[in-house]
Amino acid sequence: MKIRALVMGLIFLFTLMALGAISTPAKEEQALGIPTALEPWKAWVLFGQENRFCPTVYNNGEGYHCLWPSSLQLDLAGPGGRFKQQWLVFAKTWAPLPGDKETWPMSVKVNGRETAVVEKNGRPAILLEPGEYTVQGQFDWKEIPEMIHVPPESGLISLNLNGQAVPFPVQENDGRLWLKKARAAETQEDRLEVRVYRLMDDGIPMRILNLLRVHVAGKAREAVLKGILLDGFMPMDIQSPIPARIGNKGELLIQARPGRWEIRILTRSQEPVREIGPVKTVYGQEVWALQSQNHLRMVKIEGVPAIDPNQTESPADWRHLATYLIDEGSTVKLQELKRGDPEPAPDQLTLERTWWLDFNGRGLTIRDQIRGSMSRQWYLAMNPAVALGRVNVDGTDQLITSHGKEKKPGVELRHGQLNLLAESRLDKRPGRLSAVSWDHDFQSVSGILNLPPGWRLLAVQGVDNIQGTWFERWTLLDFFLVLIISLTIYKLWSWPWGVLALVTLGLTYHEPGAPRLVWVNLLAAAALLRFLPESWFKKLIKVWRWAALAALLVISIPFMVQQVRWAMYPQLEQVYEYSQGGWLGRKAMVSLGDINQTEYAKMPRPAPAPVQAPGAAAPETLNKPDIQPSEELEEEADHDAGEGGEQSGREWTRKLIASSVIPRAGKVSVDYYQNKAIQAYDAKALNQTGPGLPAWNWRSYEMRWNEPVTKDQTVRFWLLSPGVNLAIGFLRVILLAIMILLMLGVPLLKLSFKKWSKGSITLAMLVLLCPLSSVWAADFPPPEILEELKERLLQKPDCLPNCAESPKMELQASLNNLRLVWQVHAAVETVVPLPGSADLWLPQQVLIDGAPAKGLARDKEGRLWAVVPKGVHLFVLQGLMPLVNDFQIPLPLAPHQVVYQSDGWEIQGVDKEGRVKAGIKLIRKKTAGGNKEISQLSLPPFFQVERIISLGLDWQVRSRISRLTPAGAPVVLTVPLLPGESVTTAGLRVENNKIQIQMDPRAEEVLWESTLKKEEILTLQAPRSAPWVETWILETSTIWHADLSGIAVVHHQDEGGIWRPEWRPWPGEEVQIRISR
């Protein structure tokens, strides 16, 4: 048996070892790489992943780029043309060719061998395997077409028309290449009709969207439209389905072809706009619409007639706006009715006040809960006589400070929605009290007066509604019954007994447990007995009388004992809740401490958020360069390519109107809570703890005012002290005893209480899940192994996200030529962006290590990219200077050092050490004859500078500069700092109290942080003649008080309800902030 067990154990052990050897590779094989057994499975796991071996962008391993149409040469003439294109292919794919269905390429050869051309996605294409190719072909036509489609990714394009070179071919993002030809003689069929519509957006600056509806008939031609831009307005953006650009004199140059087209040009004013005109309506009567921005200013249009927008052909999304007709020579006058928000809505506050009378009656402890909205006065102060002891706002204790000339105690407030708890003391109770005590009016006021044992409230003066006072309890029915009973006793006995009954009932009627209706039964029986003859009915009345007497005794004896006890020991009194008509029952005794804790627990508190340390990060930019075009841009480009582009034009207009107002900064109040400088408290400052609130809740009186209560209204309490109540208590017993001697009786008051309870039992069941196992065949690798093999074969380079760097670049600029010598170090074969862009400057020749670059491509934004093998390489880029007075060269992959030589050009964007960030700007030096611009290739950039000034223990400034014009060009900008401002963000250059800003072509904004010197007066002034508008936002801690003067505030609160005054100044306007602690 032992031998058999040993054999079975060995068999089991060897079985486990065999299964382990099959399921997992040996560690030695893993260390060496891919096991030999998995070599046959490479093709299996890589099926469909051929593109993953194409080069990726140097800083992004997600996009794979397999097709590189490096250079395209077009030699076109009247009878036909030829093309030649160099291709570098890394994966089998379809390569598009120049041409389309109307201009189909003929005799296409790949490396000298004729190949088949088929249609793919509406374009002629050929199938290419990985490798390098030279593709040649020709076109057959009788006349050069208006345009021709070329591969949109074509890197360098060389165009010759009729033997003449075109230095700057015009290529659209969708690949349309416009062919310039000699202008033919205009025939009668050539017509050009233009209708002009303008949308005025009354912001800062004012923007005007100029909508041109152009109807072209006849032959395709270049047209010049003059008088499109209004005087004093600069272009910001242009959207057109046909090629269009703004000339240096403000004219619009378009490549007109037959059809109906909508062109949109966005412009901005350079100065505050009071009137526009006289308007030159070159193309007939115009229709204008006004988009008011009432939070900035309210205006009234004068000088031009208004019209119903539904009677015009203005865009549908403009028809809810005020519309006007503009004729030749008209002047549009904008009468300013109000600027900003100088008079915000009044504060809407409600006060819930609780008084506790001291046991000796000399003073009061007060607790106030104030809720509502603040929009005008951002502090609350307490009037004299009342000593403010503790203030809590949103669950946080606040420091009590002095306010105004009288140094009234109070607190600074920063939340538009107020939830405040305050504790205060009034040591000497005057005859008249302030209803609110605060130096502020209230929309609604309610209160509770808590009296200690032995004190009672006789009456209140100055309150609209109150329950429980002695006078307030009396109703007409009560008066009627007391008078009836007293008059009946007077008639049945005598007038002294009537007066005694009136006094007795007056003192006892509203006391808990006092006899009331039993008097009516007694008197009715007594009156009948006096006049009824002897009979069975009289005997019945006698029984009724004795029963009433018994009831009187039963009620009165406990009542008299209770009155004596309460008069001598008022702490034993059971406080009953009173309602109209009687007592409801004993009032629950609730600890005030429990009430406070409950309310505090319900109060909202700001959620903690991560805070970035000031100066910890370099200037923040958006959108890293990536050659991969987005699907959204492709869809927009295809959508806009249709004739007229009406639908896309409406969408663009809708986006423009939606974004025409410069967005409010600090989107919600998160920025406010994230700013530690605002939340910080002075370590030396001690918050007041207050007088402490009583923990008892005895006799309470609720009161309410029906109308708003001003700070001057008063209230008076008529109180009965414990000594007076002692005398009144004994007087009640004596008078009632005398009345009982006259009447007699006590019934048994039986009270029944019902108690009930509910119970429930919950049963829980546990469900056990049994795992399932699967068994793999020994000769087939498990899916986990195949997946790991796939991941290893497709592993990204470990150099990401920095697989390429540029140590140095040399710039050589002459009057007509530009040459860049650019060094690139690549850790692996990768893709890098070259300096320049299609709308600014592109080279005509690109060399790498002395030979023409084989892998070049252009992305949707017009940037040129190149494939760089692993190692150290030298690029040489050469091209003609654009015919403009200034232009910028974007540097997506910025070199660490730049040296330059220039003749006739001023170089900006390079510091003394040769460092550069986003790009380099070249400005043509003026000559004696002046500079002549032939065309304007780019729109002047325009920005918004937003400064958030935070006044805490340390004063800080958070600044943001954002583009308002489309991105796509690098920017070098100099922005002045505030007086006393010191930049703490690393990597930014500051000279002469000005910060140097460099933005790469795709960057939308740059952020920086600074410290600010503490001054009594802070002056903010918008610079003149600057390519930006300013926005100022003030954040102040509750330890500071700020008085504002200057231009009107636009917004007093942010979207989260925090007091953050915001200004939108015009150039030259200023604001003064007087700050006191």
The least confident of 34-43, 665-674, 802-811 is 665-674
Q: Does the structure show a pLDDT above 50 at 27?
A: no
* Distance in angstroms (rounded) separating the CA atoms of residues 771 and 753: 59
Q: What is the pLDDT of residue 927?
A: 62
Rounded mean pLDDT of the chain? Answer: 77
465 membership: H or E segment, kind and range = strand 465-466
Instruction: Using CA atoms of 440, 446, 450, 456 in order, give the dihedral in degrees to the nearest 10.
Output: 110
Query: SS3 of 514, please?
Result: coil
Q: Higher confidence at residue 593 or residue 572?
A: 572
Same structural domain for residues 444 and 309? no
Percent of the chain clearing pLDDT 90 (strictly above): 17
Cβ atoms 848, 823 nearer than 8 A: no
pTM of the model as a whole? 0.60
Q: Where are the alpha helices (DSSP H) in 24-137?
A: 27-32, 42-45
Same structural domain for residues 832 and 729? no
810 membership: H or E segment, kind and range = strand 809-813
Is the CA virtual torsion 1023, 889, 652, 306 positive or negative? positive
Give me the phi and psi of 454, to 5 degrees please: 95, -15
The least confident of 23-32, 438-447, 1053-1062 is 23-32
What CATH number is associated with residue 118? 2.60.40
Q: Does the structure show a pLDDT above 70 at 7?
A: no
Of the candidates 924, 958, 976, which is a domain's last residue?
Answer: 924
Same structural domain for residues 364 and 449? yes
Q: Quick one: which of 1058, 1062, 1007 has its CA closest to 1031?
A: 1062
- Work out the widest C-alpha separation in the chain, in whole angstroms: 148
Q: What is the pLDDT of residue 1036?
A: 85
Q: What is the pLDDT of residue 825?
A: 94
Cβ atoms 150, 177 nearer than 8 A: yes
Residue 240 is part of which domain span?
A: 191-339
Same structural domain for residues 955 and 1052? yes
Euclidean distance between the first and final Cα of the chain, in Å? 97
Residue 860 lies in a domain: yes
Residues 6+ apart with CB under 8 A from 209: 198, 199, 201, 264, 265, 266, 653, 656, 657, 660
Q: For tokens 């429930």, name the residue.
A: 760
Residue 783 lies in a domain: no
How far are the Cα atoms of 470, 835, 921, 940, 1003 from residue 970, in angstroms, in the given order? 82, 11, 8, 11, 8
Residue 973 lies in a domain: yes
Residue 619 lies in a domain: no
Same structural domain for residues 117 and 167? yes
The pLDDT-based confidence of 50 (bands split at 50, 70, 90) is low
Same structural domain for residues 197 and 323? yes
**Structural domain total, the chain:** 6
Same structural domain for residues 200 and 325? yes
Mean pLDDT of 914-921: 81
Q: Which two tokens stand for residue 418?
A: 């107020």
Q: Does the structure show a pLDDT above 60 at 622?
A: no
Angle between helices 476-492 and 495-508 (to 10 degrees): 150
1038 exposed, middle or buried (CB, 10 Å; 0-12, 13-18, 19+)? buried
Q: Does the structure show a pLDDT above 50 at 708?
A: yes
The pLDDT-based confidence of 105 (bands split at 50, 70, 90) is very high
* Distance in angstroms (rounded) separating the CA atoms of residues 354 and 426: 13
Cβ atoms 925, 935 nearer than 8 A: no
Q: Quick one: which of 788, 971, 812, 790 has its CA closest to 876?
A: 812
Is the CA virtual torsion 831, 835, 839, 845 positive or negative? negative
997 membership: H or E segment, kind and range = strand 994-999
* Distance in angstroms (rounded) separating the CA atoms of residues 650 and 632: 17
**Strands of 97-220, DSSP E:** 106-110, 113-114, 118-120, 123-128, 131-140, 147-149, 156-161, 164-166, 170-171, 176-178, 191-201, 207-217
The least confident of 24-33, 174-183, 730-739, 806-815 is 24-33
DSSP β-ladder status, 60-64 and 56-57: antiparallel
Q: What is the pLDDT of residue 875?
A: 94
Q: What is the pLDDT of residue 683?
A: 55
Residue 3 lies in a domain: no
788-800 per-position pLDDT tens digit: 666 666 677 888 8
Of the candidates 870, 890, 924, which is a domain's last residue?
Answer: 924
How many C-beta atoms surround the C-beta of residue 941 within 10 A? 20
962-986 per-position pLDDT tens digit: 988 888 777 888 899 998 889 998 8
Q: Higher confidence at residue 653 or residue 414?
A: 414
Q: What is the pLDDT of residue 937?
A: 44
* Distance in angstroms (rounded) separating the CA atoms of residues 962 and 1031: 11
Q: Does the structure show a pLDDT above 80 at 361?
A: yes
How far are the Cα atoms of 449, 751, 757, 817 from residue 754, in angstroms, in the given order? 33, 10, 10, 104
Same structural domain for residues 452 and 325? no
Same structural domain for residues 409 and 334? no
932-943 per-position pLDDT tens digit: 444 444 578 889
Same structural domain for residues 464 and 426? yes
Residues 6+ apart with CB under 8 A from 783: none
Q: Does the structure show a pLDDT above 50 at 1011?
A: yes
How many C-beta atoms surround the C-beta of residue 406 within 10 A? 10
Cβ atoms 1071, 1032 nearer than 8 A: yes
Residue 310 lies in a domain: yes
* Distance in angstroms (rounded) separating the CA atoms of residues 313 and 571: 85
Same structural domain for residues 332 and 220? yes
Q: Which two tokens stand for residue 379?
A: 């502090």
How many C-beta atoms surround the C-beta of residue 436 within 10 A? 27
Q: What is the pLDDT of residue 625?
A: 36
Residue 812 lies in a domain: yes
Q: Does the structure show a pLDDT above 70 at 775?
A: no
* Distance in angstroms (rounded) separating the CA atoms of residues 112 and 366: 100
Give, in degrees to the nearest 5, the angle at Cα 377 between 372 and 382.
Answer: 85
Q: Does the structure show a pLDDT above 70 at 466?
A: yes
Same structural domain for residues 393 and 459? yes
Residue 631 lies in a domain: no
What CATH number is associated with residue 985? 2.60.40.1730
Of the candidates 178, 209, 228, which is a domain's last residue?
Answer: 178
